[in-house]
Structures are given as structure tokens and as C-alpha cells.
A and B are shown apart, each in its own frame.
Chain A
Amino acid sequence: MTYQFDFSVISDNAWALFIGCLQTLQLTAVAMVGALALAVLLSMGLRSRHTALHLPIVAFVEVVRNTPFLVQIFILFFGLPVIGVRLSPAVAAALALTLNGAAYATEIIRGGLESIAKGQTEAGLALGLRPIQVFRHVVLKPALRAIYPSLVSQFIFLMLTSSIVSSISANELTHVAAVLEGRTFRSFEIYFVVAGLYLVMSALLSAIFALTYRVYFAYPTAR
């Protein structure tokens, strides 16, 4: 007996899969913005003179980077209710992805900030810029330019990681696939096509990030 492929399940549910893609992109966008903001704050904390801040930040980064995302989201979603904190799947998913992305981005940004020579900061201060202006224009922007490629691949990886939130039934593409599978039992057809959709979204994000780089980071920097 040979297996009969039946891809009609895809065309019949094309709209649901499309919505799933949009949900995945939306979740990723929220997590990316949150992660980037948090990571900039955390890497500023790592550079601050208040050394009491350093240990908790380093601990957060190391713990998140050295445990699986699946465990992290299970602790947030199944574990926290034990101490009375109940999160909806959507909130738990966004929070877990943000924290996970922030830990990786902190490590990348920290490296970028270290690569900016101290003389730059001193020159900025000597020119009369305030410390926050120096940080933003003289240190942060060139640092982000230098680490842009690593940051981009980390964010694309974050989009791929978002598939794991289907395990707590948060709404995104893999969850849509799981629901369709439960209804039609066309497991292979569905997951094969959905894997292809992720590939397309990866390519799409790469293209968008390449464009962003040209708009925002390209030399000459008149601003």
C-alpha cells in the first residue's frame, strides 16, 4: 500500500495559513522590538558604574542562553501559576520570546559597544555633548552598525524559535498547522508546506533587514 499525497488540505486552508504567517510575523516583531529595547538597557547596565547591576544582568543572560526555550516558556506558562501569576498563552509567548531575544541581543550589543574606542567617547564629551548624547550618537549607533549582521541573524532565529510557542497553544503559524493536522490527519503535507512558509518568511526578513541597513546605517551619515 502506498501513501497518496493530498495537498488539497493546503489550498482549502490557504487563508488560515496566511493568517498564521501574519501572526508569526506580528509576534516576532513585538518580541524583536521589546528584545532590542531591553538589550540596550541591559548592556548600558553592564557598562554602568553601579557594579551591583552587573551580576543580575550577567546571570540573566547566562541562564537564558544556556537553557532551552521550551523550558523557559513552560516555566512562564505552567510554572508561574503555582505562585499565583497566570499569563495568557499570547502574553506568555510574547514575554518568553522577548526575554530570550534580549539575552542573546545583550551579549551581541555588549560586544559591539566594547569595540568602540574610548577616545570616541572622550572626544564627544570634549565637544560638549551630554553623556546620553554621546552614548546615543557616538557609541550606540556605530556599535549597532558593526554588529548589525549578527543581530539580524539572531532575530531571524527568534522568528524560527517562535514556532515553539505552539506548544502552549499560542496563536501563530505552527499552531495553525497543528490544528489543521488534528482535523485532517494530513501531517506530512501540512508540516512540509509550513516549513516552506517559514523558509519564505526567513528570506523576507533578510530582505527587509538589508533594506533597513541601507536606509538607516549606510554611510555617509548626515544626521
Chain B
Amino acid sequence: MEHLGTPELLLLANGIKWTVLLTLIGFAGGGVGGLLVALARASHIGWLKVAAAGFIEIFRGTPLLLQLFVVYYGLSVLGFSLSALTSVAICMTLNASAFLGEIWRGAIQALPQGQTEAARALGIHYRSRMLDIVLPQAMKLSLPATVGFLVQLLKGTSLASIVGFAELMRTGAIVSNATFNPLLVYSIVAVVYFVMCWPLSLYGRRMEKRLAGAPVAG
């Protein structure tokens, strides 16, 4: 059994960096995409609603692993020769857009209808109605679920290792193969994921408890 030394730990640290970056890219991209999907899904334009619902269904009804494969091979079929990072980032963004879109759609529609009606009666336009009235409340309402999805996204980036992208899981596999101690190495990897995810989970749960006590203004 080989020794687990500094080079191996540095490799793992580099993996952690890419896991965090990939999560941030997915969350930022998914934040923008999810907002568009949520607005489309909650809108009153028939075809837009259907398109958003279809998008959500496809990404929530198929495994993330298959989504990675389809995007990874699909882009090359279309003639783009993209790095593993780019295709994984695109896939994570699309996936996060669908999940966050559904979470935020639920929050938008959970707000009392009277708020929108009152805003319309006052002649406030769609843009201001959404930005100043509906979305701030909906975002607050959906914070626990959003944080919950962030944990899911972080864990999901581990699948990028299967298409060969060197994030934490992949570097873990490399180190494991080099040191012949999979139990130790994968346990370390698990601990690192846990240390990243658990505080987020706790934060989400605290938000949930706090919101459960706070009524939404009718």
C-alpha cells in the first residue's frame, strides 16, 4: 500500500477547487436560466408555459448522468469540439435551470393572487410588478428549497468524473488507483463533500423553520 503524501493531497485539493467552481457556474447559470423558466412557466402565454413545462419535465424526468452524456456527445455531433469543462458546465446550467425554475415557479404561484391583482389595479407594469413585488417575496419563500437544490447540485458535479472531468471525485479515483487504498481515499472524498454540503443543509433547515413561523402577507 502506497503512502498518501503531499502530492496526492494537492491533487485532491485541485479537485475540490473544480468541484466548487463547477457548482458555482451551475448555480449562477441556473439562477439566470431558472428565473426565465419560472417566469415563463408562471406566465399567461400558452406556448411559453407549455415550452417551460416541457423543459422542466425533461430535465427532472431523466438522470443527470444521461443528460451529461447527451450534452457531451451531442455537442460534438453538432460539430462543436468543446472541452469536458464546457460541456459539463452547459449541462449543469440546463439542469439547474429546470430544477430552480420549478422551485421558483412554485413560490411565485404560492403568493396570494391578491398581491398581483392589487398591483395591476394600481397600474403597475409587469416588470415592476415582478421585480418589486412578486419576486422578492417568492425568493424569500423558496430559500430553503433553493439551498436544498444547491446541495443536490454540488453532489451532482461528482458525475462529471464519469465523462472524465477532473473534479474532486475524479481526482479521488486517480489517487485511489495510485495508492491502492480506495477505502481511505474515498472516505476522505466523502468527508470533503460532507463538510461542503452539511453546513448548507443546516442553513436551509434553519431558514425553513424560520419561514414556517412567518406568515405571508395576504
Contacts and interface: CB of A to CB of B under 8 A. Distances in A.
B216 interface: no
Contacts of A74: 172-173, 182, 186
A174 B187 contact: no
Contact of A67 (B69, B74, B78, B190): B190
A62 B201 contact: yes
Contacts of B198: 62, 66
Interface stretch (B33-41, B108-116, B154-162): B154-162
Contact of A70 (B62, B67, B78, B158): B158
B66 A3 contact: no
B201 A65 contact: yes
A194 B74 CA distance: 13
Nearest to B65: A163
Contacts of B79: 2-3
Interface residues of B, number: 41
A82 B62 contact: no
A198 interface: yes
Contacts of A211: none
B73 A66 contact: no
Most buried by A among B63, B78, B181, B184: B63
A203 interface: yes
Q: Is the interface of B mostly helix, strand, loop or mixed?
A: helix
A217 interface: no
B151 interface: yes
Contacts of B173: 74
B194 interface: yes
A182 interface: no
Contacts of A164: 63, 65, 159
B45 interface: no
A67 B193 contact: yes
A199 B62 contact: yes
Interface residues of A, number: 40
Contact of A187 (B67, B69, B190): B69
A161 B63 contact: yes
B158 A82 contact: no
B183 A75 contact: yes
A196 to B, nearest CB: 8
Q: Is the interface of A mostly helix, strand, loop or mixed?
A: helix
B197 interface: yes
Interface string B148-190: 0001000110110110000001001100100001111011011
A81 B57 CA distance: 40
A71 B183 contact: no
Contacts of A81: 182
A167 B159 CA distance: 10
Interface string A53-69: 00000000011011111
A75 B183 CA distance: 6
Nearest to B68: A191
Contacts of A66: 151, 155, 193-194, 197-198, 201
A61 to B, nearest CB: 11
B188 to A, nearest CB: 10
A154 B155 CA distance: 16
A160 interface: yes
A131 interface: no
Contact of B194 (A67, A80, A163, A203): A67
Interface of A: 2-3, 5, 62-63, 65-72, 74-75, 78-83, 156, 160-161, 163-164, 166-167, 174, 187-188, 191-192, 194-196, 198-199, 202-203
Task: Return the 8 tightest CB-CB contacts between A and B, nearest first.
Answer: A79-B183, A68-B158, A66-B197, A163-B63, A202-B61, A78-B182, A191-B69, A82-B183
